[in-house]
């Protein structure tokens, strides 16, 4: 009513975030992104600006759906949409990779159990390579590894290197049970090399992270009982997870580990339902981590989970101790909103 307040007043708010059942480090929050219609999800990639068939998509997570043989994308408005459906091709999708080079058409690379598929910028699918055995994750090389796609092959005990014409050879051998992998960025202690999960999976020994040089030679970088269930990893590019830290998915203990550039391993986040596969981690451009947790949709489970599949986004808490100067009004974007889903105001 325009009257002057008799004394100072305090504005307080309460942040009430759903932790999705996870135990997070201080300063982190998690969001469950549109948990519906994933069916049986395996394979995850968060796309930067990419043009497919004339449509530019920005920061869309793309997910493989094993049951319905299709690729799904999660739009910024949280709608799940079908990216591609090719029943004759997309049989048991295991890994999805973006191609930022011109070597493979600047589109998508997808592995099924026994195939490497390519979708170019016009949306056209082709069979690029048929390995002789079971394959899992796929990554496109950069720097000294550029010009090739790399496949992890537990069947052949190493990494297969595939050129743009589809010719593949066993490039890095002697790595039985090779699973998820990523390339160390510039400035990392392993700059330019591939870091590969070699999981022991309760066989009584340690799990390893192996380093693979440009000539295909490999050696153990880190060996630890904590890595027993290591099946996927990504190197943090920027942001709250610490540039250069390696985030590792542990499918036995349903948790994430962090390995610093010096090779020290520690537990980062626990409480996932049923992590599975060799491609369930991906970073967004802002450094947020996306984790695909298939829950009860995946029949192979260590936890016995019956939970619905979900895609989780883990990021830094976007709140500050000192508020900015008043601007007349406050507009909160739908995402990320540190006050979501509940705000309490007290005067």
User: For residue 34, what pLDDT is reported?
Assistant: 63
Query: Positive or negative, the Cα torsion across 37, 127, 46, 59?
Result: negative
Q: Are 145 and 183 in contact (CB under 8 A)?
A: yes
Please give the pLDDT value at position 15.
39
Residue with tokens 């489970």: 301
In DSSP notation, 301-347 reads -SS---PPPEEEEEEE----SSPPPP-SS----SSS-TT-S----B-
How many Å apart are CA 263 and CA 274, to the nearest integer? Answer: 26
Tell me the pLDDT of the chain (347 aa) as tens digits. 555 545 444 434 333 446 778 999 999 999 988 655 667 888 888 876 555 555 555 567 888 888 778 888 887 777 777 888 776 677 788 899 988 777 888 788 999 888 999 988 778 889 999 988 889 999 999 999 999 999 999 889 999 999 999 999 999 999 988 999 999 999 999 999 999 999 878 676 789 999 999 999 999 999 999 999 999 999 998 889 999 999 999 999 999 999 999 999 999 999 999 999 999 999 988 889 999 998 877 766 766 777 888 899 999 886 443 444 444 444 444 444 444 444 454 44
Output the pLDDT for position 12: 40
Please state, in angstroms and rounded to a whole number, the distance separating the CA atoms of residues 38 and 73.
10
- Cα(7)–Cα(234) distance, rounded to whole angstroms? 53
Give Cβ neighbours of residue 167 (< 8 Å, ≥ 6 apart): 129
pLDDT of residue 114: 87
């Amino acid at each position: 009513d325009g009257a002057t307040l008799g004394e100072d007043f305090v504005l307080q708010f309460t942040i009430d975030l759903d932790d999705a059942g996870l135990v997070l480090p201080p300063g982190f929050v998690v969001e469950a992104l549109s948990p519906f219609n994933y069916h049986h999800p395996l394979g995850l990639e968060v796309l930067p600006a990419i043009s497919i068939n004339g449509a530019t998509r920005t920061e869309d997570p793309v997910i493989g759906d094993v049951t319905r043989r299709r690729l799904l994308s999660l739009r910024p408005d949280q709608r799940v949409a079908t990216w591609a459906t090719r029943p004759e091709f997309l049989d048991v999708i295991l890994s999805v990779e973006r191609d930022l080079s011109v070597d493979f058409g600047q589109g998508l690379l997808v592995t099924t159990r026994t195939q490497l598929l390519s979708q170019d910028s016009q949306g056209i699918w082709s069979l690029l390579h048929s390995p002789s055995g079971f394959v899992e994750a796929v990554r496109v090389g950069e720097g000294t590894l550029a010009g090739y796609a790399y496949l992890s092959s537990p069947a052949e005990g190493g990494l297969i290197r595939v050129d743009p014409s589809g010719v593949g050879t066993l490039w890095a051998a002697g790595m039985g049970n090779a699973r998820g992998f990523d390339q160390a960025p510039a400035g990392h202690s392993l700059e330019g090399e591939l870091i590969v999960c070699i999981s022991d999976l309760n066989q009584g020994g340690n799990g390893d992270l192996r380093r693979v040089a440009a000539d295909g030679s490999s050696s153990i970088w880190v060996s630890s009982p904590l890595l027993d269930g290591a099946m996927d990893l990504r190197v943090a590019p920027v942001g709250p997870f610490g540039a250069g830290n390696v985030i590792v998915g542990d499918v036995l203990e349903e948790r994430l580990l962090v390995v610093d550039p010096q090779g020290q391993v520690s537990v980062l986040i626990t409480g996932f339902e049923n992590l599975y596969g060799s491609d369930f981690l991906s970073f967004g451009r802002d450094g947020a981590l996306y984790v695909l947790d298939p829950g009860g949709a995946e029949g192979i489970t260590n936890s016995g989970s019956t939970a619905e599949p979900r895609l989780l986004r883990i990021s830094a808490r976007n709140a500050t101790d000192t508020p900015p100067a008043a601007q007349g009004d406050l507009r909160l974007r739908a995402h990320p909103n540190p006050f979501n889903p509940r705000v309490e105001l007290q005067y």
